[in-house]
């Protein structure tokens, strides 16, 4: 039986560290508030409802892929949705972002977090995967994603976003057994969730550890690494896994130890230094500062050239931002970035 066209796409070959004719590129939050079409939909539909309406989620992502000319799609969703069937009450406040109304604040609270034994309550995510895959060009891969155990734990404990993660760190230090139990439960849930997205039609998955950068290396090594490693191993698939975190380049060797075929890095370290730190036996994803997309096309092109130079055409580089597209980004600048990567990297 012939292999599907996406199998030998530039993105999948780069994830396997195979030579490609061009460096593949996609953008985190490539469908989002910087697009007028997305804002028009959001004026009529709340974010949580949007995430739970597969036809709209698929439409938004497919439109973004066509508009930008990127080499991969990622399912339109949110990393906190997994917490709802586990018993946490999730809301999205237009001003404050995600809010969890019954956060975990004491050791006893961990016991009320339910195991994610079934994915029934998340079938709308699987349907978004199915619809996006059905509408996507067969030559392009689709990525599923989930929040990593620590990032999910941080949201669950803080009750939303946090600048200093004070409650999370105190819980981790003062209630180590309860924190370990929480992380274990989340790791099992993440593995099941990602495996479900792969079964629904995704070709690869990305694990977002958005808040891990707040940790000291010793704390990450002790309290986070074993659970992230367990989650990645438990996915039980040969599909590529992208392991991404932001904020602390000192964690890169530990992230690599935790696992992932591709390690995603942000702009706080040069790409060549990051790759040496991770090891050239891994692919790398990154790492343009999203703020560069607020500058001129000439500056975008110059920064793209620099990152590609640092990659040295070594097989295994997937171009991306160091975090999501900023809401203020002109759409034409995002297109200019994708075009520059394709033009300057062609071999």
Q: What amino acid positions are annotated as catalytic residues?
A: 29, 33, 42, 78, 155
Contact between 344 and 308 (Cβ < 8 Å): yes
Integer angstrom CA distances of residue 30 from 71, 244, 297, 322, 337 = 11, 16, 18, 13, 12
Closest by alpha carbon to 233, among 192, 185, 177, 292? 192
Cβ density class 247-273: b for 16+ within 10 Å, e for less: bbbebbebbbebbbbbbbbbbebebee
Cis-peptide, bond into residue 308, ω within 30° of zero? no
Strands 262-264 and 241-245, bridge-based pairing:
parallel
The values of phi and psi at residue 322, to 5°, are -80, -5
Residue located via tokens 């990525």: 143
In angstroms, rounded to a whole number, what is the distance separating the alpha carbons of residues 261 and 246? 17
């Amino acid at each position: 039986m012939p292999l599907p066209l996406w199998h030998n796409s530039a993105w999948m070959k780069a994830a396997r560290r195979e030579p490609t004719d061009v460096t593949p590129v996609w953008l985190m939050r490539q469908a989002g508030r910087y697009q007028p079409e997305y804002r028009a939909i959001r004026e009529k539909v709340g974010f949580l409802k949007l995430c739970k309406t597969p036809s709209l989620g698929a439409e938004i992502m497919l439109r973004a892929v066509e508009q930008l000319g990127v080499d991969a799609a990622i399912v339109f969703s949110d990393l906190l949705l997994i917490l709802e069937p586990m018993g946490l009450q999730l809301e999205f406040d237009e001003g404050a972002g995600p809010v969890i109304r019954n956060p975990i604040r004491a050791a006893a609270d961990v016991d009320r977090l339910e195991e994610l034994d079934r994915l029934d309550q998340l079938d709308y995510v699987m349907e978004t995967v199915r619809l996006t895959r059905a509408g996507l060009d067969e030559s392009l891969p689709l990525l599923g994603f989930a929040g990593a155990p620590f990032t999910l734990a941080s949201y669950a404990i803080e009750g939303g976003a946090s600048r200093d993660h004070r409650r999370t760190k105190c819980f981790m230090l003062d209630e180590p057994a309860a924190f370990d139990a929480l992380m274990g439960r989340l790791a099992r849930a993440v593995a099941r969730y990602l495996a479900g997205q792969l079964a629904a039609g995704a070709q690869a998955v990305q694990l977002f550890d958005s808040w891990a950068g707040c940790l000291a290396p010793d704390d990450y090594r002790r309290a986070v690494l074993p659970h992230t490693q367990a989650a990645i191993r438990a996915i039980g698939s040969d599909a590529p896994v992208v392991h991404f975190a932001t904020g602390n380049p000192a964690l890169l060797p530990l992230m690599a130890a935790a696992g992932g075929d591709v390690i995603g890095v942000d702009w706080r370290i040069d790409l060549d230094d990051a790759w040496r730190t991770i090891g050239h036996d891994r692919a790398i994803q990154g790492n343009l500062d999203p703020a560069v997309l607020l500058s001129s096309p000439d500056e975008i092109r110059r920064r793209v050239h620099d990152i590609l130079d640092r990659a040295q055409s070594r097989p295994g580089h997937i171009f991306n931002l160091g975090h999501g597209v900023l809401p203020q980004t002109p759409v034409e600048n995002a297109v200019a970035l994708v075009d520059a990567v394709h033009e300057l990297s062609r071999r």
